[in-house]
Amino acid sequence: MEKVYILGGAQTDFQRNWSKEGKSVIAMLRENIFDAMKDINLTREDIIQLNKDNKIAIFVGNFIAENYLDQGHLGALLTEVDSCFYGVPSARYEAACASGSVAIDAACSKIRDHTYDIALVIGFEMMKTVNSKVGGSFLGKAAFYELEAKDIDFPFPKLFARLADETIKKYNLDEERYMKALSRISYINYSNAKRNPQAQTRGWYMDKKQTLTRNTGTNPIIGGRLALTDCSQVTDGAATIVLCSKDYKEKYYQNTKKPIIKGFGHRVAPMIFGEKMKESKDNEYILPWTRQACMDAYQRASLTVEDIDVFETHDCFTSSEYAAISCFGITDPGKEYEAIENGTIAIDGNKPINPSGGLIGCGHPVGASGVRMMLDIYKQVTDTAGRYQIKDARNAMMLNIGGSATTNYVFIVGKEES
């Protein structure tokens, strides 16, 4: 595979409520894109020059700005951010909460085939324009709406609560032990987020007991067996990463070590949750296509789980992180609780998951999450993650999912072997 380098990037402070600040999506994009450009010393003038040679393109990941912002045509929207983007090829990519990843994948393809030298990948979502119930119904469109979301309050918590039910059933788990494992996942994510200066919940108080005590005034049930502490946040945010070709890297960044994207996996499971379960009935994995996406990435990278030092996963709900543990290969399917109970996935464990805080702790602006994850694993392998740095991380893996584990996107990012 042709090498694709990650030069750097930026995310917005996920604690911010842009609607409360009275700010538009243009402000969010402007701040985030110019922060990312600053991070890699790329100027407006550079962009204009690159575009003269048709060597730069922009890939925008977003799920559903049509609903949250009454705005479509999001590739073109960047021309409102700055005139340096006039004429730059730019389009929007969508795969629900995996929109960021599909934008990254498209950018990689265009770099690998030498169409462009450099690509900005921008993921964003502004979700606090509406209340959580209305927002929940927008997000329901990532499921098969007619059947799974129409006239249902908070459809996604209910779908992932079904994943929890099915997991218990499939592996014949002790219910209490499983729920404790989910609580621990939540607690780890909240705790890690305290180390991340851009995390939405970094200032929140959370303790083990609160994550263990569901169905209370401050930890109400949101869907099925999942309570508030099992759910990711409603977040405003954007994340940008800059990718480039080998030639570009060698020309402009020859003296700095930059990591490469070593492998990817992209698999789409049946959209309807019931169909997923039907299909996987006899499979040892409850989410076989999520597992397959991980396997594809390992194979493309010629790496195994042994080689991965840190993971960022899609903990939209605790039950999705739980299932991801075996998909990564950290444990056998059905034994995920072991890696949770024995501290393997904790920040000081052998296979840390979500040192950033993940979607539960760092926040989940849905279209941004895939790009945010890649930015975080980029930080890990370049030793720039600050207080949530995993020591000596060489290779890192991310899993970004859309819908009820329908679109599954996996990337492996690592140091270039010398």
Partner 1 sequence: MRQRKHLNSFIRNTDDSRDSYTLIDFIEGIPLPFQTHNQKVVTVLGANGTMGRNVSAIFASFGECIVFMVCRDMEKANEAKELAIQSIRCESIGKNLFPGTYENLDSYIKRSNIVFESVSEDFQIKKNVYQKIKPFLKDDAIIATGTSGLSIKELSEIFDKHKNRFFGIHMFNPPYNLTLCELVTHSDEQRETAIQLKDYLQTKLNRTVVEVKDEPSFLGNRIGFFFIGEAMKLAEKYQDQGGIDYIDSILGCFTGRNMSPLVTADFVGLDVTKSIVDYIYENVLDEYRDSFAAPDYLNQLVMENKLGRKVNKGFYFKDRDRQLNFVYDIKQNNYRLMNNYQFYFANEMIKLFKNGQYEKGINLLIDDESQEATLCKKMLLSYIVYSLKISSEVSTDIASCDDAMATGFSWIPPIALIELLGGKEKTKYLINKYLDARYQHIINDKDFYKCIPEHSKYDFRPFLKAKY
Binding site for partner 1 (CB under 8 A): 13, 16, 20-24, 26-31, 80, 203, 205-210, 212-213, 216-219
Q: 216 vs 256, which CB is nearer to partner 1?
A: 216
CB of 20 to partner 1, least distance (A): 8
- Map the chain to HEC letters: CCCEEEEEEEECCCCCCCCCCCCCHHHHHHHHHHHHHHHCCCCHHHHHHHHHCCCEEEEEECCCHHHHCCCCCHHHHHHHCCHHHCCCCEEEECECECHHHHHHHHHHHHHHCCCCCEEEEEEEECCCCCCHHHHHHHHHHHCCHHHHCCCCCCHHHHHHHHHHHHHHHHCCCCHHHHHHHHHHHHHHHHHHHCCCCCCCCCCCCCCHHHHHCCCCCCCCEEECCEEHHHECCCCCEEEEEEEEEHHHHHHHCCCCCCCEEEEEEEEECCCCHHHHHHHCCCCCCCCHHHHHHHHHHHHHHCCCHHHCCEEECCCCEHHHHHHHHHHHCCCCCCCHHHHHHCCCCCCCCCCCECCCCHHHHCCCCHHHHHHHHHHHHHHHHCCCCHHHCCCCCCEEEEEEEECCCCEEEEEEEECCCC
Q: 265 vs 363, which CB is nearer to partner 1?
A: 363
Are residues 297 and 101 in contact, defined by beta-carbon separation less than 8 angstroms?
no
CB of 27 to partner 1, least distance (A): 3
Q: 213 vs 389, which CB is nearer to partner 1?
A: 213
CB of 142 to partner 1, least distance (A): 28
Q: Which of 286, 356, 280 is nearest to 319 (CA)?
A: 286
CB of 10 to partner 1, least distance (A): 12
CB of 363 to partner 1, least distance (A): 15
Q: 29 vs 64, which CB is nearer to partner 1?
A: 29
CB of 266 to partner 1, least distance (A): 33
Q: 96 vs 375, which CB is nearer to partner 1?
A: 375
Q: 12 vs 290, which CB is nearer to partner 1?
A: 12
Are residues 326 and 336 in contact, defined by beta-carbon separation less than 8 angstroms?
yes
CB of 228 to partner 1, least distance (A): 9
Q: 210 vs 245, which CB is nearer to partner 1?
A: 210
Q: Which of 380, 206, 408 is nearest to 313 (CA)?
A: 408
CB of 395 to partner 1, least distance (A): 32
Q: 27 vs 272, which CB is nearer to partner 1?
A: 27
CB of 19 to partner 1, least distance (A): 10
Q: 69 vs 377, which CB is nearer to partner 1?
A: 69
